Amino acid sequence: MTEVVDVLVLGGGPAALCIASELSHSGVDVAGIAPQPIDAPWPNTYGVWAEELRSLGLEHLLEHRWNDSVSYFGSGGDAQDQSMVHGIDYGLFDRVALQQHWLGRAQGVRWHQDTAERLEVGSLKTSVTCGSGTTLQARLVIDASGSRTPHIRRPDQGPVAGQAAYGVVGRFSRNPIETGRFVLMDYRCDHLSEEQCSEPPTFLYAMDLGDGVFFVEETSLALAPGVPYDVLKQRLLQRLEKRDVEITELIHEEFCLFPMNLPLPDRSQPVLAFGGSASMVHPASGYMVGSLLRRGPGLARAIAEALKNRELGSAALARCGWQALWPLDLVLRHQLYQFGLGRLMGFNESLLRTHFATFFSLPQEDWIGFLTNTLPLTRLMAVMLRLFALSPWDLRRGLVLGAPRSQLPTWAQSKG
C-alpha cells in the first residue's frame, strides 16, 4: 500500500524549498517532487532590499550588497543626468547560501527526483502520478512548481503581462556604471530614436559585481506580450554605445520573462499553491523571494495546526492554507497593486519617468513598504493617495483615467 505523507510539495525552486523547510521545521511529515537534484543550482539571480533581510535576521544570505543605490528619471543629456539617491542598501542573494538555509531546515523531507504529471483529489488524500509512473499520496498537495503550472486553476482575465529583460554579466571597455554602484532604474532615453521613444519604454537595471565585472540588464516593466529579447538587446547595446562602452567579455547572458499580473488562483480548489504558482510575485516590483521568507513560516504554522485534525481531508486542508496565504487584507492589496500596474502599462516614457521620480520622492518607509508589500492595507491606501497628491496634473489624470490617447505610446493606442 502507498504511504500517505502529510504534505507533498511539487517543485525544487525557492518557493518549494521555502515551504517544505518551514513545514518540516514545524514537525510536519513532508515529501517533495522535483525534476532536478534538490541542491542543483538555480538559474536566476535574486535581488532583495537589504532591509527585508535585516528584519528577518538573514542579512548573511547576501553575496553582494550596495550602499550606493540610485535611479535616473531624467531624459538624459548633461542637464538631466542627475541620479536620484535611494539611500538604502540593495543586495543579491548568495543562491547557494539561500538554498542551504532552507535545506538545512528541511532535513526530514524526502525528495523524489521526478515530475508531477497528474493529480487526483480524493476526500481524504490526493494522489500524484509522476512522469516515472510512480504514484505518491498526501493529505495535502502544495504546488510550488512555478507560474506555468497546469495544476492550479485561476480565472482567465485576458493576456498576462510579463516582465521581460535581457542582461549581460561581463567586462566592458569602460565601466558601464560607476564603481561600487547599484542602479535600480535608469530611464534615460537619449540613446533612442524618435520612433523607439514611441515603443514600449525600457530601463537599465545594473550593478557592479566587483573585480571589473558588471551586470547590465535592459528591462521592460510589464507588457502583454512581453517585449522581445532582440529589441531589449538592441536597446541595451545602443545605450552602452551612447556612453562609449563596449562589451569586451561576455560571461553570462540572462533572458528573463515572468508574469507580473497573473490573476490570483481560485482559492476554493483542493490543491494549495505557493510562490509563482500562487501569484505571489509582487505586481508592482516583480520581486518575490523576500515575501517567501516572510510568508512561509506563518503558512507552515497554519497548515501544521490544521493537520492535527485527522478528519480534515485535502479540500479542507487546502482551504485552511488558502486562507492563511491570501487573507482578505493581502488580496485587496494585491488588487490595488494590479490596478496600479495596469495604469503604468499604458504610460509612455516621459509619464513613467515623472511617475517614478514622484514615487521615489515619497518618504523612504513609504516607498520601500510599497515595493516590499509590507504596509497594511490602510497605510498602503494612504501612501497611494499621498503619491496622487504629489503628482503633477498629467500624471494624476493618467493614474485615475489611464493615459490620454495623445500620450499613449503608439503600441498602446492600437489596443483600443
Using CB under 6 A as the binding rule, whether residue 13 contacts ligand FAD is answered as yes
CB of residue 162 to ligand FAD, shortest distance in Å: 9
What gap in Å lies between CA 293 and CA 251, rounded to an integer? 30
Cell numbers that stand for 282 in this block: 509582487
**Residue 350, exposed/middle/buried by CB under 10 A (0-12, 13-18, 19+)?**
middle
Residues 133-162 that bind ligand FAD (CB under 6 A): 144-146
The residue among 16 and 271 lying less far from ligand FAD, judged by its C-beta, is 16
User: Toward ligand FAD, which CB reaches closer, 60 or 308?
Assistant: 60
Residue 324 near residue 303, CB atoms below 8 Å: yes
Shortest Å distance, C-beta 289 to ligand FAD? 4
Q: Out of 44, 134, 179, 335, name the contact with ligand FAD by CB under 6 A.
A: 44
Other CB atoms within 10 A of residue 242 CB: 14
Q: Binding segment for ligand FAD among 9-17, 50-58, 221-229, 370-378 (CB under 6 A)?
A: 9-17
Interior angle at CA 120, CA 114 and CA 122, nearest 5: 130
Q: How far is CA 100 from CA 39, 72, 103, 233, in A?
A: 8, 36, 5, 34
Residue from 11, 76, 270, 346 in contact with ligand FAD (CB under 6 A): 11
Could you write out the DSSP letters of every residue in 311-379? T--HHHHHHHHHHHHS-HHHHHHHHHHHHHHHHHHT--HHHHHHHHHHHTTS-HHHHHHHHHT-S-HHH
For position 276 contacting ligand FAD by CB under 6 A, the verdict is yes
> Residues 106 to 125: which contact ligand FAD by CB under 6 A?
115-116
Please identify, using beta-carbon distances, which residue of 41 and 158 lies nearer to ligand FAD. 41
Contact region for ligand FAD (CB under 6 A) — 6-14, 22-30, 180-188, 396-404? 6-14
- Give the one residue of 5, 14, 267, 409 binding ligand FAD; rule: CB under 6 A: 14
The verdict on 200 binding ligand FAD (CB under 6 A) reads no
- Cβ-closest position to ligand FAD: 13
The DSSP string of 231-290 is HHHHHHHHHHHHTT--EEEEEEEEEEEEESSPPPPPTTSSSEE-GGGGT-S-TTT---HH
Examine residue 287 and tell whether it contacts ligand FAD (CB under 6 A): yes
Peptide bond into 225 cis (omega under 30): yes
Binds ligand FAD by CB under 6 A, chosen from 4, 35, 181, 354: 35
| DSSP label at residue 180 | T
73 binds ligand FAD (CB under 6 A): no
- Closest to ligand FAD by CB, 46 vs 337, is 46
Number of Cβ within 10 Å of residue 332's Cβ equals 13
Give the residues lining the site for ligand FAD (CB under 6 A): 10-16, 33-36, 44, 46-47, 115-116, 144-146, 254, 256, 258, 275-276, 281, 287-289
